[in-house]
Amino acid sequence: TPLSVSYTVSGSKTYDGTTDAGTISSVATTGTLTSGKELRGTATAVLSSKNAGTVTATGTGLYSEQQGYLITASTTGPGTVTITPKALSANLAAQTKTYDGNTTATLASGAITASGFAPGEGASVTQTSGTYNNKNVEGANSVTATLTSSHFIFNNGVLASNYALPTSVIGIGSITPKALSATASASNKVYDGNTSAAATLAITAGLVGQETVTATGAATFNSKDVKGANLVTVNSTALANGDNGG
């Protein structure tokens, strides 16, 4: 005995790596089941492709509890489903560098990772350059990297077109002070009963490019007495902004 089942299928879903649609809006039958008998199962739809785009949907899943029925299935309305690309997220590991006078951030391989893939799929991110939001120690707190499709290397068999790729990623960033080298000199003084010394500091190495800073410090003699005073120690230093960005 023939029995036709017509599935109405339409709609959309986000790419998930499967051909499951599960979008049945209605089911109609042509033919009559024996009194008291019913169709069994769950109406579902299977897609012609798992990949993003407009694909054909075929209704399935129903059967008759009465043997002897020849069930034929058809799909209507319009019988297609749109699969939209799945959005990926990107994460940038915290970055730090020593002050070098610019905002360039050099990222280690693997510093940027992507997430949000369908099960069993993945990609690596090859971008290794970014930009700090500020070149200075004070003010630098983030790093931004620009991403294009060329920065994503998908695992074998994975289609990039199934995913909506992020175009940038931002992470925590910090810049640490650059160490300077300096020499100190102190003038002789008339005995005054204490060890205070007037020291002059000169920066000898460590400045970036043409930058300058002014260095001052508090110093003491190793003895307050005329006899024994032969060494000056700088106990603390302070730097003041100079020229050319220093």
Q: Work out the average pLDDT over 62-71.
A: 72
Pairing of strands 80-84, 95-98: unpaired
Q: How far apart are the C-alpha atoms of 97 and 106, rounded to whole Å?
A: 9
Quote the pLDDT of residue 74: 80
Tell me the pLDDT band of 245, cut-offs 50, 70 and 90: low
pLDDT in tens, 174-226: 999 999 999 999 989 999 999 999 999 999 899 999 898 989 999 999 999 99
Tell me the pLDDT band of 68, cut-offs 50, 70 and 90: low
Cα dihedral 74, 78, 80, 82, rounded to 10, equals: -160
pLDDT in tens, 76-90: 777 889 999 999 999
Q: Residue 158 pLDDT more than 80?
A: yes
In the structure encoding, which two tokens stand for residue 11, read together? 């709609």
Tell me the pLDDT band of 23, cut-offs 50, 70 and 90: confident
Quote the pLDDT of residue 242: 75
Measured in degrees and rounded to the nearest 5, phi and psi for residue 21 equal -115, -50
Q: Which of 13, 19, 61 is nearest to 41 (CA)?
A: 61
Q: Residue 63 pLDDT more than 90?
A: no
Asked whether the beta carbons of 27 and 87 are under 8 A apart, the reply is: no
Q: What percent of the chain has pLDDT over 90?
A: 68
Quote the pLDDT of residue 244: 61
Q: Residue 31 pLDDT more than 80?
A: no
Residue 163 CB neighbours (<10 A): 23
Tell me the pLDDT band of 246, cut-offs 50, 70 and 90: low
